[in-house]
Amino acid sequence: MKNKSILIRNANVLDYLPTDMDAQPAPRVELTDLRISGDKIVARGQNLEAIEGEEIRDINGRTIMPGLINGHHHLYSTLAPGMPAPKNTPRSFQDVLTEIWWKLDRCLDHEAVYKSAVAGAWDAMRCGTTMIFDHHSSLTCVSNSLDEIERGISEAGIRGCLCYEITDRGGLGSRDTTLDENRRYFTKEKNSNFRAIIGAHAGFTLEDRTLARLQEMTEELDCGIHIHLAEGTTDRDICIERGWDDPVSRLDKYGLLRRDTILAHCVDITDAEMALLDERGCWLVHNGRSNMNNSVGRAPVNKFPARSCFGTDGLDGNMWGELRSTFYRGNEAGEGELGLRKASEMWIGAYQMAREFFGEPFGSLDVGAPADFLICNEDQKTPLHSDNWLGMLLFAFHPWDILEVWCGGNKTYRRGDKSPFDGKLCREAAQRIWDGMEKL
């Protein structure tokens, strides 16, 4: 399938960025032809001359746009939907962690980690996603767990930037396995679909000695961290309780607020702290639906720096759903309004973040760009133009409008394809995990 030249004729192409890696966003829609060879787009223009032997497809004005990017996800929570309600009703965000997620992640074994990854990546891909920044945790099976995540994402056919959530909540020995797993995966040879970053759970489960270790590791490997920051008030409350600096200053003190650091949530952040995050140039990821579900408060998305994007934080992997929920929520009470300008900036921000981590011009569908895109159905109801693309993403396109998904020049999905996993075995694994959780 791969490496053969394919000419796609009459595509209504939406893309957001020129291929120049430092270019400013320039969203445009154009009816054109695209030639794909290997993992790249190699030609673009109207009425391209066919090359002998290449496959030709006329898609009759269907929309093509860059594959979607999830800036913060937890594939390990894929088998959670439907699990038994917690024995003790969570009354705070900390209760949500201790009663639900920290029980789930203790029950995962390698097989369940892999099944979660393949099934979750398959869900995300069918929603048009071709890259996931995953934040993994499976506290009783840490070693090599990132290989299982990689295997699952690979079988779905998409890309991932992976890490393990380093934490002190399991004690020193357990913490060391989380440090080792990050180092192992970061330094492992990976194919072009995968990158790594150093993961950390959240400041409030990290002792100072561990932040010092993270500082050493990020300096040695020259990379940032992917961490939850200020997801509700818990982070700050525990810092006060422990006599630590506030969560932002604390990360800064250990040199962890780098340009290649990814900060998820950032709900309980003051204006002065936001200014510091902006100055340091970290990436901020907004997880609107997860924030609502966990009652952690409204993130001040209207004040997020330019370097920000969206993530689903373990929910369904539907990035269009994430974008529109945040937009609607902003309009609901006139508080913390996202607005069209910020929505556009954050949507395109994900492609700029992907460029920095993968070194390829994602978000473009021009010559030299990775052939990562989705093709919509023929029955799109309203016309897409350069000046209404965001309105179309907010109101017109849904996962059921996706006909095909391509990643790295491979057609990884066509509507109606069978999943790459056995649903029955997946449900059995889920039941096994849920039974284990009830015993904790």
Residue ranges that bind Zn ion, judged by CB under 5 A: 264, 313
Shortest distance in whole angstroms from residue 247 CB to Zn ion: 15
402 token code pair: 């996706």
Shortest distance in whole angstroms from residue 134 CB to Zn ion: 10
Shortest distance in whole angstroms from residue 232 CB to Zn ion: 12
Q: Which is nearer to Zn ion, 263 or 392 (CB)?
A: 263
Q: Cα–Cα distances in Å, from 170 out to 109, 137, 142, 223?
A: 16, 12, 11, 25
Q: Which is nearer to Zn ion, 164 or 397 (CB)?
A: 164
DSSP secondary-structure letter at 101? I
> Which residue type is seen at 149?
I
Q: Phi/psi zone of residue 260: left (φ > 0), alpha (ψ -120 to 50 degrees), beta? A: alpha
CA distance 389 to 173: 50
Q: Are strands 402-407 and 373-376 parallel, antiparallel or unpaired?
A: antiparallel
Q: Phi/psi zone of residue 287: left (φ > 0), alpha (ψ -120 to 50 degrees), beta? A: beta
> Which residue type is seen at 95?
D
Shortest distance in whole angstroms from residue 77 CB to Zn ion: 9
Residues 302/265, Cβ–Cβ less than 8 Å: no
Instruction: Say whether 155 sits in a helix, a strand or coil.
Output: helix
Q: Which residue sits closest to Zn ion, CB atoms considered?
A: 313
Residues 231/202, Cβ–Cβ less than 8 Å: yes
CA distance 400 to 417: 13
CA 356 to chain centre: 14
Q: Which is nearer to Zn ion, 157 or 314 (CB)?
A: 314
E strands in 104-166:
129-134, 159-162
Shortest distance in whole angstroms from residue 73 CB to Zn ion: 8
Neighbours of 345 (CB within 10 A): 19
Q: Which is nearer to Zn ion, 117 or 264 (CB)?
A: 264
Q: Which is nearer to Zn ion, 15 or 134 (CB)?
A: 134
Q: Which is nearer to Zn ion, 141 or 267 (CB)?
A: 267
> Which residue type is seen at 379?
D
Shortest distance in whole angstroms from residue 354 CB to Zn ion: 18
Q: Which is nearer to Zn ion, 94 or 410 (CB)?
A: 94
Shortest distance in whole angstroms from residue 54 CB to Zn ion: 43
Contacts of residue 279, defined as CB under 8 A and 6 or more positions apart, other chains included, come to: none
Q: Which is nearer to Zn ion, 262 or 402 (CB)?
A: 262
Shortest distance in whole angstroms from residue 290 CB to Zn ion: 7
